Amino acid sequence: MLSFFKDYKYFGIVLLVISIIIVTIIFNILNVEKPLPIYQPTMVNAELVDTTLHYKKKYHKIADFSLTNQNGKTVTQADYENKIYVADFFFTTCQTICPIMTDNMVYIQNELEANPDVLLLSHSVTPEIDSVAQLKKYALEKGVDDARWNLVTGDRKQIYDLARKSYLAVKDDDDSLDPYDMIHTENFMLIDKKRQIRGFYDGTKRDEIEMLLEDIERLQREYE
């Protein structure tokens, strides 16, 4: 019996190696790239989500909107129809995280210069300060491409509702007497062509920006 196993030891080793190679090849063939998640309110930090949505587990989409950009043009969801876009919340007088976030948005804009399928959208959380003229000045200073990137201002409640009920991106300012005061975060959101959130990224970290760019490529492959 021992001699039998000795005689077939090398055969068994070769067979094992061949089996591993075959399994690996099959795995690689069948290993189709997984799609990005579709974020729902229950998947996000509850502090960033309006309390009316804490229960919502599916069918979440970005709501219709009507805001004004740096050129005084009305911007609506129709301007982003059938487009992938990156959204964030900022204000022009912010001296902490906003300059870094804006620089990283400029980086994204430049990296995607030859990709007309992807747009950018930045919402001011201080619309009473960020007038059209103020946004235009800021856009010129930062090198914003008007054809690709809208900086928007408008009704404070609408921006608050978009932030808390659509993009799930900012916190309530509990210390404020104004029920529509927000504490904006560093979040960048990746939005697909169906107005669904497909990713959250720290807009102050370059490695997360690189991840965002990779995820944009992954998302585009879903539509091929």
Give residue-wise pLDDT tens across range 147-188.
999 999 999 999 999 999 999 999 988 777 788 888 889 999
Between 69 and 182, the higher pLDDT residue: 69
Distance between CA 150 and CA 139 in Å, rounded? Answer: 9
Q: Domain 41-222 carries which CATH code? A: 3.40.30.10
User: What pLDDT was estimated at residue 5?
Assistant: 45
* Residue 113 to residues 1, 108, 117, Cα–Cα distance (Å): 71, 8, 10
* pTM of model > 0.75: yes
Residue ranges covered by each domain of the chain: 1-31, 41-222
| H-helix segments, the chain | 2-7, 9-30, 98-111, 132-142, 156-161, 206-222
Q: What is the pLDDT of residues 20-66, one digit of tens each?
A: 666 455 544 445 679 999 999 999 999 999 999 999 999 999 999 99
